[in-house]
Structure 1
Amino acid sequence: MEHLFSSSVRGSIAKLSTSTILLVFLLSCFTFTSTEAYDPLDPNGNITIKWDVISWTPDGYVAVVIMYNFQQYRHIQAPGWTLSWTWAKKEVIWNMMGSQTTEQGDCSKFKGNIPHCCKKDPTVVDLLPGTPYNQQIANCCKGGVISSWAQDPDTAIASFQVSVGRAGTSNKTVRVPKNFTLQAPGPGYTCGPAKVGKPSKFISADKRRITQALMTWNVTCTYSQFLAQKTPTCCVSLSSFYNNTIVGCPTCTCGCQSSKTGPGTCVNPDSPHLATVVSSPSKSDNTPLLQCTSHMCPIRVHWHVKVNYKEYWRVKVTITNFNFRMNYTQWNLVMQHPNFDNLTEAFSFNYKPLTPYDGLNDTGMLWGIKFYNDLLSQAGLYGNVQSELLFRKDASTFTFDKGWAFPRKIYFNGDNCVMPPPDSYPWLPNGSSRKFISLVSPTVTLMVSMIFFFA
């Protein structure tokens, strides 16, 4: 009897465990959010900080620090990068070129020569353009702005020189700094520990001599959109010539107008007090002042299927800025669509294919033409840029049916934009009467049925 009771209990627990696991799995599918530190469209993208010790001093060393932005489409815009770390011992910074620390710290223990910085955890920023030449080194003094690698690899680099004291004067006594933190300009980057590697080598200007660093360590920083901001920063709207429906951004994509704080702060563009609000002293901070919309996103990207030709089809792309306090310099757009392998022309944007995987060419990067539309102005009359894209048709894949003509993913300045749900896309007239059934409903129904079946 006891054996039968034990078996029955074990069977009930097993069924309960199965149903519990299924329930947890179901909930996790709809509630857990990834930090997205890995970007499938830029799998090798990161910012690498290389620290080269180039000479010894009586109490430390002189090093050149170089930041390489190996991200294909994510750049660092104004007010620029901020780099901080924690010294492993009691180091001080005697002097810097090409950058400066934001605080000097307590240097009262020093007599005579006063260090540039005595803080245990210094914070370094780039110098501004126009800095005197005797304070510059190569690739410095851009106000912290760094281009993305695909847009301009020559300006995707920043550097500065630092003279460190009380640090040791040999490879055995020098300790690498810890706890590197990169703000660009806000949060979002996570930096790993500094790793000592092979010394960097340098080729002389006449290319006849090679020298090398006395010691080198590297730090790798990766980006997570979830860490950068808790809400999305852009959304996508869709339309087409074959359907009168304009599919707008989902309501409250980036916030709601009823919110008391954060993304809910907005102003009506027709407000008579608009100029006063926009020019208020508080605009110096990075808090966005948005135009009131249903989606409350700073950026909206609109994809319009414009014309259908015999062998081609044309799309119009418009980027609209709804932020009254932000001008986007060196903006870029990344789009994923299977017909990008046959893009014929981008009429007023620069274009570059992104092919992180061999044999797959479905992603393109677009950005503005210098001195023409590389600046996306703040919200208002000039707060938009636009271009048209001409695609050649592939008879084996081309169709306007089932939303094929619309993009799969869109990124603005490296952040993933929220797409409308697929069942709301503009459909062909002969398919307009079909019932749109969300995939979420049958999935939930199936999972719940499985729970009750195993229970």
Structure 2
Amino acid sequence: MGNFGLILVLDLIFLIYPVVYGYDPMDPMGNITIRWDVTTSTEVNHQIRVSIFNYQLFRHVEQPGWKLSWDWHGKEVIWQMWGAETTEQGDCSAIKGDTPPHCCLKEPVILDLLPGAPYNKQVVNCCKGGVLTSLTQDPEKYVSSFEMSIGSASNDGSGPRMPENFTLGIPGYTCGVAVKVPPTKFHEDQGRRQTQAVATWDVICSYSQFRASSSPACCVSLSAFYSETIVPCSVCSCGCQGQRSAAQCVKRGEVPPVIQLGHNELPTPILECTRHMCPIQVHWHVKQSYREYWRVKMTIRNLNLVRNYSQWNLVVLHPNLRSITQVFSFDYKPLDQYGDINDTGMFYGIKYYNDMLLQAGRSGVVQSELLLHKDAGIFTFNEGWMFPRKISFNGYECVLPSPDKYPMLPNISQFLAPSILTIIVFSFCLILTMF
């Protein structure tokens, strides 16, 4: 089967099973994997290392971060934890001993420690506040880990068992059952010694945008140098003003209300009032055409008055990205999911320069320009070819205008004919050369 056939089959799967499997055609293999390693084991006690891997190309876990939970089969307890902590200890009155367990809940909820946690509580890859970067954007920070000592509170001689019903506590993610896999191998002493887990299980968690939110979170507007028309975001792209389900909005210049946040919570969106009511607006402007190249200007505007977006990213699907020549002000990486097609790429901010998209206002904008080569037999001005096929911001697919509203190409004779000013300037220069 050729590349076209493969894409067609994957698109059909996406249309038929979008909610069940959370399939994303721009990241078909993406998932978050929870790995449960039993590092040492006795009849009554296990030493466990839990790792959370973000194997998604562009979707990351933002603040307030992951909130891992599961169900114990029996009366298991967590005696000690390093690199993380539970939100509650629970009732441990039935447990005898000088030191009470860390947690006795049947459904514990675990949080990553914050940066700067005490050294004796840290382990490798811990203490990021539950934030995970995407695999493409920052491969050194896509994993989070913690360790714990677990045992059984019963006196029947049964040891701790593998829990079930894992959840990440992040909107949009659904976790499957634990599957036993080959034991993880660990490297110690700078790689000179290799050890192995007693047993390892993997839990795969997949993402569905529909489960994360019933309404989109961004939209796209379009313009081109050859047209005076600016195609705005579609009306009510992310909601309509006044609807109960829509975000609260404030007119430009007005002061937003003060938000009181609870522990580990994101602020409820308060937006600038717009016709589209999206927190994020992306503008794609075809800026210039040269003999062998063409130039695009991209603008990302944050219309949320109470939220910054750290380590944001923008994923674009366009057939000419295979011939991208230069990107200004953003970092760029191609996402080559289907072999040699190479029509999808990820743009993101330069560290310490514009990797933070600030809340709505004068500073809530980041911009970049792209220079692309005009591939022979592919490039065309016709039928909106220069506009993107798909755009997502932080993994949320953006609403594109209908193709019948794209900026219209002017009459070809008008498009190619020199302007009157150009003719006058040329004639004046010609006269000067005669004297």
- What TM-score, normalized by structure 2, do the two folds share? 0.87
Identity of aligned residues (%): 55
The answer on whether the counterparts of 2:186 and 2:196 sit within 8 Å (CA) in structure 1 is: yes
1:213 aligns with 2:197: yes
Corresponding letter in the other structure for 1:188: G
Alpha-carbon RMSD across the aligned residues, in angstroms, is 2.0
Report the count of equivalent residues: 392
1:58 CA drift (Å): 6.6
Matched with 1:40 is: 25
| Separation in structure 2 between the aligned mates of residue 155 and residue 282 of structure 1, nearest angstrom | 27
Matched with 1:269 is: 252
The answer on whether the counterparts of 2:113 and 2:128 sit within 8 Å (CA) in structure 1 is: yes
1:285 CA drift (Å): 4.5
Matches of residues 78-97 of structure 1 in structure 2 within 5 Å? Answer: 78-97=63-82
1:134 aligns with 2:120: yes
Which of 369, 372, 376 aligns to 2:357? It is 376
1:220 CA drift (Å): 0.5
| Separation in structure 2 between the aligned mates of residue 52 and residue 32 of structure 1, nearest angstrom | 35
1:173 CA drift (Å): 5.0
Matched with 1:163 is: 149
| Separation in structure 2 between the aligned mates of residue 399 and residue 245 of structure 1, nearest angstrom | 19
Which of 304, 320, 334 aligns to 1:339? It is 320
The answer on whether the counterparts of 1:167 and 1:175 sit within 8 Å (CA) in structure 2 is: no
The answer on whether the counterparts of 1:167 and 1:173 sit within 8 Å (CA) in structure 2 is: no
Give 3-state SS (helix, strand or coil) of 1:325's partner. coil
The answer on whether the counterparts of 2:312 and 2:348 sit within 8 Å (CA) in structure 1 is: yes
1:209 CA drift (Å): 2.7
1:191 CA drift (Å): 0.4
Matched with 2:184 is: 200
1:288 aligns with 2:274: no
The answer on whether the counterparts of 2:261 and 2:267 sit within 8 Å (CA) in structure 1 is: no
The answer on whether the counterparts of 1:240 and 1:426 sit within 8 Å (CA) in structure 2 is: yes
1:20-43 deviation digits (Å, cap 9, x = unpaired): xxxxxxxxxxx9994270011111
1:145 aligns with 2:131: yes
Matched with 1:395 is: 376
The answer on whether the counterparts of 1:263 and 1:288 sit within 8 Å (CA) in structure 2 is: no
Matched with 1:20 is: none
Corresponding letter in the other structure for 1:101: T
The answer on whether the counterparts of 2:316 and 2:346 sit within 8 Å (CA) in structure 1 is: yes
Corresponding letter in the other structure for 1:193: V
1:206 CA drift (Å): 4.3
1:161-181 deviation digits (Å, cap 9, x = unpaired): 11111189xxx9542110000
Matched with 1:189 is: 173
1:44-78 deviation digits (Å, cap 9, x = unpaired): 10011111111125722111111111100000111
Corresponding letter in the other structure for 1:242: Y
1:264 CA drift (Å): 3.7
- Structure 1 unaligned regions, length at least 5: 1-30, 432-455
Give 3-state SS (helix, strand or coil) of 1:154's partner. coil
Matched with 1:351 is: 332
1:197 CA drift (Å): 1.5
| Separation in structure 2 between the aligned mates of residue 217 and residue 297 of structure 1, nearest angstrom | 40
Give 3-state SS (helix, strand or coil) of 1:389's partner. strand
Corresponding letter in the other structure for 2:235: T
- Structure 2 unaligned regions, length at least 5: 1-14, 413-435
Matched with 2:424 is: none
1:215 CA drift (Å): 1.1
Bigger Cα displacement from structure 2, 52-61 vs 389-398: 52-61
